[in-house]
Amino acid sequence: MSNKPVIVIGAGIVGASTALWLQRFGHEVILIDKGAPGMGASYGNAGLIAQWGFMPVTTPGLWRKLPGYLLNPNSPLFMKWGYFPKLIPWLTRFLSHATDAETRRIVGALLPLVGDAVSDHKALVQGTGLEQWIADSKLGYAYTSRKAFDADGYGWAMKRAAGFAPTVLTGAEVREEEPILGEDFQCLAVLEGQGHVLHPGQYVAALVDHVTDRGGRFVQAEVKGFQREQGRITRVETDQGNFDCHAAVVTSGIWSKEMMRMLGLKVQLETERGYHVLFENPSELPRNPMMISTGAFGVTPMSDGLRCAGTVELGDHHAGPSDGPIKLIRREAKRAFPRLSYSGTQEWMGFRPSTPDSLPLIGQIGDSGIYTGFGHQHLGLTAGPRTGQLLAQMIGGSAPNLDLAPYDPTRYLR
């Protein structure tokens, strides 16, 4: 094993998980991020450990439905139209996967990353003293009617085939399971044996603290470049100095696009901008996390309030927030929880890094010593621990018991 460290660039859930697993495999680790740990997309997500969330957006027929979604102000899909011309190449390739065969291929590739994610998170925190951040729970999909649930039959058939069979409640049974739900919701599909994180940002920050407590380093710095000798990484250059290494892992979410560009590589990675509204000091909380089908957002009781997080806005990761997604979340949250009162709210926007085929880039670029762990779309929090373990195994020279071909980072390098 080299006496030089492994540098992990990006201190979100994927980077923190990678750093911790690397330490467990005996590596010295330096974790670098231009911001504070856990303050990117890891901070503001719904906190759901979505082992059931393997259905891609590109289900069959999306290309026919997309114009209607984008033009409907009540749809949870939004577009930053000024960015649309630049998005066309990515969007064209994205829509090419909206077939039954491609959906099944993508689901088959995502299942090994997320299908046992609650156990993956528990394995990550085992013996760290951080077990309290992971909560066991059910997950309820709230629909306005049984007919609306049945309309999602394609996705639920996939979930059942993967072992996620819901108990479907209707009418008064819905209120018995979740008293907080209003009468507009007459169907609730409940999955047992799920889990969530009580505060994702604090959870990730605590993981990074644990890495540093074990002798790792966290450096808040902006990466400016890379040095290679005979094609292999030897040094990472930052605005806070240069750091020698024998391997580097890029886990910077959407900002990985800039990291790759520094290496002379162009990656097809675009942003699904996500939003949340946190209701502070809520008068009531759901018994378990939920998905609200009318707004396509998650609802999670957290340590600092009730978080409603989701929606998709296609656009640039340098542009500011839009009003539409926040208005939709507020409107649909009021519809779902008509009796809810609260002392105030917080709003947030973050960037989900999305590939055209909805699969992350996990692996080494050639024989460069440069590894990638980004592009998880909606599943970064869920798949972070498993991704980190896979990367640590690869860097340590052991072959993971998993076909890594679907995540090959070279598939989008050009």
Please, are residues 24 and 40 in contact by the beta-carbon 8 Å criterion? no
Q: What percent of the chain has pLDDT over 70?
A: 100
**pLDDT exceeds cutoff 80 at 70:** no
Element (H, E) at 412: none
Residue whose structure tokens are 């309290």: 132
Please, are residues 29 and 222 in contact by the beta-carbon 8 Å criterion? no
* Alpha helix stretches (DSSP H) within 137-291: 146-151, 153-161, 172-177, 200-213, 256-262
Tokens (6 digits) for 249: 């892992």
- Averaged pLDDT, 274-285: 96
Tokens (6 digits) for 304: 């600092």
Instruction: For residues 259 and 214, give the distance between their C-alpha atoms in angstroms, rounded to a whole number.
Output: 27
Instruction: For residues 7 and 211, give the distance between their C-alpha atoms in angstroms, rounded to a whole number.
Output: 13
Element (H, E) at 166: none
pLDDT at site 1: 63
pLDDT band for position 414 (cuts 50, 70, 90): low
- Averaged pLDDT, 249-253: 96
Please, are residues 211 and 29 in contact by the beta-carbon 8 Å criterion? yes
Kindly state the greatest CA–CA separation across the chain: 68
Tokens (6 digits) for 222: 């902006």
**pLDDT tens string 203-228:** 999 999 999 999 999 999 999 999 99
Q: Which domains does the chain have, with CATH numbers?
A: 6-60+106-412 (3.50.50.60)
Instruction: For residues 89 and 356, give the distance between their C-alpha atoms in angstroms, rounded to a whole number.
Output: 10
| DSSP per-residue codes, 269-322 | -EEEEEEEEEEES-S---SS-EEETTTTEEEEEETTEEEEEEEEEEE-TTS---
Instruction: For residues 353 and 362, give the distance between their C-alpha atoms in angstroms, rounded to a whole number.
Output: 13
Q: Structure pTM?
A: 0.95
Instruction: For residues 315 and 351, give the distance between their C-alpha atoms in angstroms, rounded to a whole number.
Output: 9
Please, are residues 118 and 195 in contact by the beta-carbon 8 Å criterion? yes
**pLDDT tens string 177-194:** 999 999 999 999 999 999
**pLDDT tens string 42-69:** 888 999 999 999 999 999 988 788 787 7
Amino acid at 120: D
Tokens (6 digits) for 285: 């909380």
- Averaged pLDDT, 149-168: 97
Residue 37 DSSP SS3 = coil
Residue 35 DSSP SS3 = coil
Buried b (16+ CB within 10 A) or exposed e, 164-177: bebebbeeeebbeb
Instruction: For residues 286 and 300, give the distance between their C-alpha atoms in angstroms, rounded to a whole number.
Output: 8
- List C-alpha distances in Å: 231 to 135, 210, 235, 263, 370: 44, 33, 12, 11, 10
Q: What values do phi and psi take at 164, rounded to 5?
A: -110, 80
